[in-house]
Copies of this chain bind each other. A is one copy, B any other.
Amino acid sequence: MAHGRVMIETFESQVLRGNAAGDPPVRTVPVYLPPGYDAEPTRRFPSAYVLTGFTGRGRMLLNDNPWNPALDDRMNALIARRECGEMILVMPDCFTRYGGSQYVNSSATGRYEDHLIGELVPHIDRRYRTLGAREHRGVIGKSSGGYGAMVNAMRHPDVFGAVACHSGDMEFDYCYRGDVPKALTQIQKAGGLEAWLQAFDAKRQKSSDDMMTLNIVAMSACYSPNPAAPCGIDLPADPASGAWRDEVWQRWLDQDPLRLLERHAAALRSMALVYLDCGTRDEWSLHHGARLFAQKLRALGIAHEHEEFDDGHMNVQYRYDVSLPKLARALGADLPA
- Using Cβ atoms and an 8 Å threshold, which residues of chain B touch A287? 185
User: Are B65 and A60 in contact, with the CB atoms below 8 A?
Assistant: yes
Give A175's nearest chain B residue, CB to CB: B181
Query: Does residue A315 face the partner (Cβ distance < 8 Å to B)?
Result: yes
Segment of A115-123, A219-227, A240-248, A266-274 in the binding face = A240-248
Q: How far is the CA of A175 from the CA of B95 in the complex (A)?
A: 32
Kindly identify, within residues 229 to 246 of chain A, every residue whose CB is under 8 Å from any CB belonging to chain B. 237, 241-244
Give A184's nearest chain B residue, CB to CB: B288
- Using Cβ atoms and an 8 Å threshold, which residues of chain B touch A63? 60, 63-65
Q: Which of A59, A173, A174, A179 has the most CB of B within 10 A?
A: A174
Complex copy number for this chain: 4
Residues of A in contact, count (CB < 8 Å):
45
- Using Cβ atoms and an 8 Å threshold, which residues of chain B touch A185? 280-281, 285, 287-288
Kindly identify, within residues 51 to 105 of chain A, every residue whose CB is under 8 Å from any CB belonging to chain B. 55, 57, 59-60, 62-67, 95, 99
Kindly identify, within residues 166 to 218 of chain A, every residue whose CB is under 8 Å from any CB belonging to chain B. 171, 173-175, 177-182, 184-185, 189, 204-206
User: Are B67 and A95 in contact, with the CB atoms below 8 A?
Assistant: no
Query: Does residue A291 face the partner (Cβ distance < 8 Å to B)?
Result: yes
Contact of A285 among B66, B181, B280 (CB under 8 A): B181
Give A63's nearest chain B residue, CB to CB: B63
- Give a binary string over A271-290; 1 marks a CB under 8 Å from any B CB, 0 the rest: 00000000011000101100
- Using Cβ atoms and an 8 Å threshold, which residues of chain B touch A281? 185
- Using Cβ atoms and an 8 Å threshold, which residues of chain B touch A315? 204-205
User: Are B241 and A295 in contact, with the CB atoms below 8 A?
Assistant: yes
User: Are A292 and B242 in contact, with the CB atoms below 8 A?
Assistant: yes
User: Are B178 and A179 in contact, with the CB atoms below 8 A?
Assistant: yes
Q: Could you tell me which A residues sit within 8 Å of B by CB distance?
A: 55, 57, 59-60, 62-67, 95, 99, 171, 173-175, 177-182, 184-185, 189, 204-206, 237, 241-244, 280-281, 285, 287-288, 291-292, 295, 311-312, 315, 318
- Given A57-B64, A66-B99, A184-B288, 5 other A-B contacts at CB below 8 A? A55-B66, A62-B64, A63-B65, A67-B206, A174-B244
